[in-house]
Amino acid sequence: MKKTDTIIIGAGPVGLFAVHQLGIKGLKSIVIDNLDKAGGQCIELYPDKPIYDIPAVPECTGEELTNKLLEQIKPFKTEFFLNERVEEVKQDKENWIIKTNNNNAFSAPNIIIAGGVGSFEPRKLSVKEAEKFEEDFLFYAVKDKEKFKNKNISIFGGGDSALDWALELSKFSKINLIHRRDEFRGAPHTLSEIKKLEKEGKISIKTPCQLESIEGKDRINSITIKFDDGKTEQIKTDMILSFFGLIMKLGPIAEWGLNMNKKTIEVNSKNFETNKKGIFAVGDICSYPGKLKLILSGFHEVALASVECFKRARPNEKYRFEFTTSSKTIQGRLGKK
Ligand SMILES: Cc1cc2nc3c(=O)[nH]c(=O)nc-3n(C[C@H](O)[C@H](O)[C@H](O)COP(=O)(O)OP(=O)(O)OC[C@H]3O[C@@H](n4cnc5c(N)ncnc54)[C@H](O)[C@@H]3O)c2cc1C
């Protein structure tokens, strides 16, 4: 079991800045996120959109903000556990123990929940056979491109992920791109590349249709799709990739005995602690009178929560407020001379 001073749940902008606020106070943290990358909503929902209300940054995209936050916390060499969802919390005297769906366990006196609107999870295919093929033949993300070499792949979806992967995987596999509408939402230039490959026989586009069934016992042999006019077609398929977007699930955090207000966690606005000592909630997931779901509000919340985290992690030390401009200790922690 890994021990640390604070376990941060969520690698969105607020979770990332929590690493900084804890780090400059000399506290260690680890970060867990269900997604395969840091950035939360900024990277998952609007990486290219400009944000105009980050103090002293007149304009930056969601991706640029994430990269800057990651750069700012580099000196702390924080360990990230991505693709892991936090499932369970248990108390062990003064410490909290967290378990993830990958069976990793962490122990710390503090937990900062920066879970935003919940963990982002793929919207799954609804046909009943889908689940048994998951992980081996049916995927909602591509983690290892090698697995998809020299295969018959059926890709579902009409957005950028479906189009980008159809293009990429067509370099070494036969692709069926299947969408329930005739129009695709993905980038027009990707679509025109795909149309070129369709003419060359490398990609086959099937619209407007939906998945009807998956055939196969221990592996997928074929799929059957149903067109809007009622006709069906069986397609030889080894692997399925489905990109129907993400849904947000608050998941098990809602069952941890924390005081909830609709889908948010109630905190006090002095140090953003919940009704459980040592468990804090910050960013979009917390609620208190006057709460604004803005990134800058989350930054303020972690600054205050980290002070209380310090007091719990270092009960025998006195907390001293210091400016980064004048504290040699903080500058040392940031690797500055
Ligand atoms: C289109 C759009 C535009 C926006 N524009 C602005 C803007 O201009 N200015 C502004 O200030 N705000 C803006 N916002 C809001 C802003 O993005 C949010 O306030 C901010 O992302 C909240 O950050 P967070 O770190 O609290 O949560 P999030 O960004 O939601 O990150 C939470 C992370 O926690 C992870 N997580 C949750 N539960 C678990 C679990 N159990 N286990 C593991 N991981 C978990 C999630 O996967 C996610 O990565 C915008 C939002 C949207 C959707």
For residue 78, give the 3-state DSSP assignment.
Answer: coil
For residue 232, give the 3-state DSSP assignment.
Answer: strand
| 12 close to ligand 1 (CB < 6 Angstrom) | yes
pTM summary value? 0.81
Give the domain 2-121+247-333 fold. FAD/NAD(P)-binding domain (3.50.50)
Chain-centroid distance, C-alpha 265: 19
| 9 close to ligand 1 (CB < 6 Angstrom) | yes
Which pLDDT value is given to residue 194?
Answer: 96
Nearest to 53 by CA among 282, 297, 291: 297
CA of residue 17 to ligand 1 center, whole Å:
13
Q: In whole angstroms, what is the distance from residue 122 CA to residue 141 CA?
A: 8
For residue 109, give the 3-state DSSP assignment.
Answer: coil
CB 3 within 8 A of CB 98: no
Q: In whole angstroms, what is the distance from residue 73 CA to residue 66 CA?
A: 11
Neighbour tally for 301: CB within 10 Å:
27
Residues of the chain with CATH 3.50.50.60: 2-121+247-333, 124-244
Nearest to 155 by CA among 237, 62, 264, 72: 237
Which pLDDT value is given to residue 33?
Answer: 94
| 174 close to ligand 1 (CB < 6 Angstrom) | no
Mean per-residue pLDDT pooled into runs of 10, the chain (337 residues)? 97 98 98 93 89 97 97 97 92 94 96 91 92 94 89 96 94 96 93 95 96 96 97 98 87 89 94 97 97 98 98 96 95 92
> For the domain with range 124-244, which CATH number is right: 1.10.630.10, 1.20.1440.230, 1.10.3720.10, 3.50.50.60?
3.50.50.60
CA angle 169, 227, 246 (to 5 degrees): 55
CA of residue 136 to ligand 1 center, whole Å:
31
For residue 231, give the 3-state DSSP assignment.
Answer: coil
Which pLDDT value is given to residue 230?
Answer: 96
Which pLDDT value is given to residue 65?
Answer: 98
Nearest atom in ligand 1 to 53's CA = 9
CB half-sphere exposure, 291, CA atoms < 13 A: 21
Helices (H), the chain: 13-23, 40-44, 62-73, 130-133, 160-169, 188-199, 295-313, 328-333
Which pLDDT value is given to residue 117?
Answer: 87
CA of residue 216 to ligand 1 center, whole Å:
39
CA of residue 273 to ligand 1 center, whole Å:
19
| 39 close to ligand 1 (CB < 6 Angstrom) | no
Which pLDDT value is given to residue 203?
Answer: 97
Verify cis geometry, omega within 30 degrees of 0, for the bond prior to 208. Answer: yes
Residues belonging to the chain: 337
The two three-digit tokens of residue 237, written as one number? 């398929």
The gap between the terminal CA atoms of the chain, to the nearest Å, is: 35
Sheet containing 286-287: order of strands: 260-261, 264-266, 286-287
CB 177 within 8 A of CB 202: no
Which pLDDT value is given to residue 249?
Answer: 78
Which pLDDT value is given to residue 337?
Answer: 74
For residue 332, give the 3-state DSSP assignment.
Answer: helix
Which pLDDT value is given to residue 32?
Answer: 97
| 294 close to ligand 1 (CB < 6 Angstrom) | yes
